[in-house]
Amino acid sequence: MQDLQNTNQANSSGAALNLFLPAMSKALITSFSKKLIAWHGLHGRAGLPWQNNLDPYAVWVSEIMLQQTQVATVLERYPRFMKRFPTVKQLAAASMDEVMAEWAGLGYYSRARNLHACAVQVVERFAGKFPNDPVLLEQLKGIGRSTAGAIAAFAFHVRAPILDANVKRVLARIFAIEDPIEEKAVNDRLWNLAGELLPSQAKDMPTYTQALMDFGATWCTSRGPVCLSNNHQCPFSKDCQANLSDQVLILPRKRIKAKSPEFNCDMLLMRSGNWVLLQKRPSKAIWGGLWSLPESSWSARAGARTNDLQSQELFALTLPDSLAPQSLKTTEPLKRGPQIKHVFTHRRLWMQIWELSVAKPIEWGDADLQWVSLRQLGQYGLPQPIKVLLQGLSLIRDGV
DNA sequence: AATGCGGGGGG
DNA sequence: CCCCCAGCATT
């Protein structure tokens, strides 16, 4: 830890790598952080609600929320979350459902589960105070190497690198790394570079780390980097090997991804007046831990859907015990509702809604199966498309 | 090394 | 329609 904070010996493999870098790269490595910090003074983003905050809890929440999630999205949700859970102890003391409800709509719900688990770990292991050592931070739930580096840098001024999508793109361009960045050897080299480029003074770490993110997010962007327009002069235009060799738009290179497969499923919208039946989803699957409509198993889109109304049987698997199909049969038949298309990063899903009204709520005796009033939906974490669907019902009911 | 995991922004 | 994003955990 002392190495990370006070010396340049933190990364011996990085030092070895240095021997093989061309002279121009060596000069750049010594000047990079100064140039970047100077750039930040003129063009960096300011006024983001999680900036200039030395509270490790506040830093940590922002870093988790920003994982794979753009600033514009987090901008609305972060203050709300911090108001709802102002301290790590309050977060640790909350129920999982309360955290999920606050996280709903942000996606990647394992982040919310890990967030809660991590809060408990911090309270139990560290008396409610986050450690400043990135090695210890990385041992906590949901904190990987990059997030650990960001927390250490922002909250504790520790000389630890980050390597997010912004940094990968910036480094792959400046050093013209042409192999796919998913490869382990490339990833290792990027981490080594990120370590080499750190400013020598620990006090500069928050500004430097912020500058790195800002530069990637606003100037060295994926599609429209400023070096390809005439509006600005990139501080690295004479250093950037991709710029000098006209490869900016093709770097970083990525492996070709398979096209996302398509699925169908059927969902049961059982209502009784203002009440709707919700089912809690298993924690490890998609929308894990959220409350959704009871759902049939998914089937590949190609294998044509059962489009007849024999579909009472569809839900026998997801509702508890044999009561399910019997109960459905003794009432009116299922009515075909809307078909909803929902696109994930790596899945496409068509949800066929089947509507059923019952005179009064059937009690299932299952904690994961609850009748919820349309007015109280806000207290439950719902998948975004289900939330939209049920809000529509709510509006119709209220005659808005 | 490969895969699973959301949702929204922007070209 | 497409790709991208303040990544991590699991296998």
Do A323 and A342 form a contact (C-beta atoms < 8 A)?
A: no
Instruction: Please give the structure tokens belonging to residue A159.
Output: 């000389």
Find and list the nucleotides of strand C having atoms within 7 Å of a protein beta carbon.
1-9
Between A256 and A13, name the one with better pLDDT.
A256
Distance, CA of A228 to C1' of B5, in Å:
34
- Three-class DSSP category at A228: helix
Nearest to A193 by CA among A206, A181, A210: A181
Q: How many domains does chain A have?
A: 2
Distance, CA of A327 to C1' of C4, in Å:
46
Between A49 and A259, name the one with better pLDDT.
A49
What is the tens place of the pLDDT at every residue in A64-116? 999 999 999 999 999 999 999 999 999 999 999 999 999 999 999 999 999 99
Res. A6 pLDDT band, cuts 50 70 90: very low
Shared-domain flag, residues A236 and A362: no
Indicate whether A329 pLDDT > 90: no
What is the tens place of the pLDDT at every residue in A359-389? 888 887 889 999 999 999 999 999 999 999 9
Going by C-beta distance under 8 Å and a sequence separation of 6 or more, which residues neighbour residue A274? Answer: A373, A374, A375, A397
Task: Kindly report the CATH number assigned to the domain that includes residue A351.
Answer: 3.90.79.10
Q: Let me know if residue A255 belongs to a domain.
A: no
Find and list the nucleotides of strand B having atoms within 7 Å of a protein beta carbon.
1-11
Measuring from the CA of residue A212 to each C1' atom, give the nucleotide at the shortest distance: C6
The predicted structure's pLDDT at residue A5? 32
How far is the C-alpha of A306 from the C-alpha of A296, rounded, in Å?
A: 12
What is the tens place of the pLDDT at every residue in A115-151? 999 999 999 999 999 999 999 999 999 999 999 999 9
How far is the C-alpha of A152 from the C-alpha of A36, rounded, in Å?
A: 19
Nucleotide B11: nearest residue by CA–C1'? A223
Q: Let me know if residue A202 belongs to a domain.
A: yes
- Final residue before a domain boundary, out of A250, A274, A296: A250
Shared-domain flag, residues A242 and A274: no
Q: Is the CB of A166 under 7 A from strand C?
A: yes
Q: Which amino acid is at A298?
A: W
Distance, CA of A109 to C1' of C11, in Å:
19
Task: Kindly report the CATH number assigned to the domain that includes residue A191.
Answer: 1.10.340.30
Q: Let me know if residue A99 belongs to a domain.
A: yes
Shared-domain flag, residues A234 and A284: no
The predicted structure's pLDDT at residue A296? 80
Give the pLDDT mean for A264-279.
92
